[in-house]
Amino acid sequence: MSNLGKPMFWRDDRMPHVELRLVEDGRKVRYAPHSHTQWSLGAITEGVSTFLYRNDQFKICTGTLVMMNPHWIHACNPIDNKRWAYLMLYVDTTWLTDLRYEVGLLDARCWQDIATATIFDPKWYEGYCRMAACLMDPERELLDKQSVVVEYLTALMCELADQPAEPLPKTADKLQALAAYLKNHATEELSLDALCERSGYSPGHLIRAFKQYFGITPHAYLINCRIQLGQQELKGGKPIAEAALDAGFADQPHFQRTFKRLLAATPNQYRHSLINQQIHTTGSK
């Protein structure tokens, strides 16, 4: 049976700070606006698609790199149902922060958003594809894979270091604090009244300001946080039904529908992808 339309995930427990997703026919996947806890770096390997990133939209094609800051809303989808394919690398934010700090790009071990959204330089695209091929190759040794990831990301971070980040609006601290509250209480039932009391905003002002800054409403942000929790549970080997409850969903079907809508993969596909199985098989020798 062909896996052409199915998303596949590479993971290795010995490298928990990186995860790679491979989609060979992007017409089969549709994303609602969502975000990740990790910093994300993708390569369009075939075709064209749209890239929605906060309040901007780009048309991207083969050879383009796209990058997404943690918690920044985004979505990529096909154009006119034309075939497209991509690779997406998810990098743990703390690990990447340490990498940037240790090479002198940050003054403190504190995450700093990266302003760049797209790169069209063939040098970086080709290097990315070589790195991804190395990770997915069961014959390459662990030290080789670790070295290739560190070397590529260090060079890329240095390349991007001189590009200034966008200035934050005056309300950024208050909105980020509210988002942190939603994340820390994602499994609970929260009310708009409680959020207004915490922020000092009226209901209408709160929803408008939050959506303008994050790209989605507070409720959508809360649901996205629950899906991120569910991903962590699934990575840890939890059964889908248990992961759903632990992430704050009332039942497994609701979790499955929401997971697929945001991540264009089912929870079962995320847990048991072909590449993931190959890696763990070879890694147990």
Distance, in Å, from the CA atom of 122 to the CA atom of 130, rounded to the nearest integer, reads 12
Residues 121 and 205 in one domain: no
CATH number at residue 31: 2.60.120.280
Average pLDDT score, the chain? 87
Residues 181 and 122 in one domain: no
Residues 227 and 144 in one domain: no
Give how many domains the chain has, as a whole number. Answer: 2
CATH number at residue 180: 1.10.10.60
pTM of the model: 0.79
Residues 13 and 144 in one domain: yes
Residue 167 lies in a domain: no
If phi over 0 gives left and psi between -120 and 50 gives alpha, with beta otherwise, what is residue 215?
left
Each residue of 74-131: pLDDT tens digit? 988 878 778 889 999 999 999 999 999 999 999 999 999 998 999 999 999 999 999 9
Judged against a pLDDT cut of 50, whether residue 10 lies above it is answered with yes
Q: Give all strands of the β-sheet with 56-61 in edge-to-edge order.
A: 56-61, 48-53, 74-78
Residue 178 lies in a domain: yes
Residue 92 lies in a domain: yes
- Provide the residue range defining the domain that includes 97: 8-160
Residue 213 lies in a domain: yes
Q: Which of 131, 160, 189 is the last residue of a domain?
A: 160
CB 38 within 8 A of CB 93: yes
Structure tokens at 90: 């998810």
Residue 93 lies in a domain: yes
Residues 95 and 191 in one domain: no
Residue 3 lies in a domain: no
Residue 276 lies in a domain: no
Judged against a pLDDT cut of 90, whether residue 242 lies above it is answered with yes
Radius of gyration (Cα) for the chain, nearest Å?
A: 19
Q: Which of 98, 130, 160 is the last residue of a domain?
A: 160
Residues 20 and 145 in one domain: yes
Judged against a pLDDT cut of 90, whether residue 184 lies above it is answered with yes
Residues 152 and 86 in one domain: yes
Residues 113 and 212 in one domain: no
Residue 259 lies in a domain: yes
Residues 186 and 129 in one domain: no
Q: What is the pLDDT of residue 4?
A: 52
Residues 122 and 258 in one domain: no
Residues 39 and 148 in one domain: yes
Residues 23 and 148 in one domain: yes
187-226 residues labelled b (16+ CB within 10 A) or e (exposed): eeeeeeeebbeebebeeeebbebbeebbbbebebbbbbbb
Chain centroid to Cα 21, Å, comes to: 10
Each residue of 141-182: pLDDT tens digit? 999 999 999 999 999 999 998 765 666 666 788 899 999 999
Q: What is the pLDDT of residue 145?
A: 95
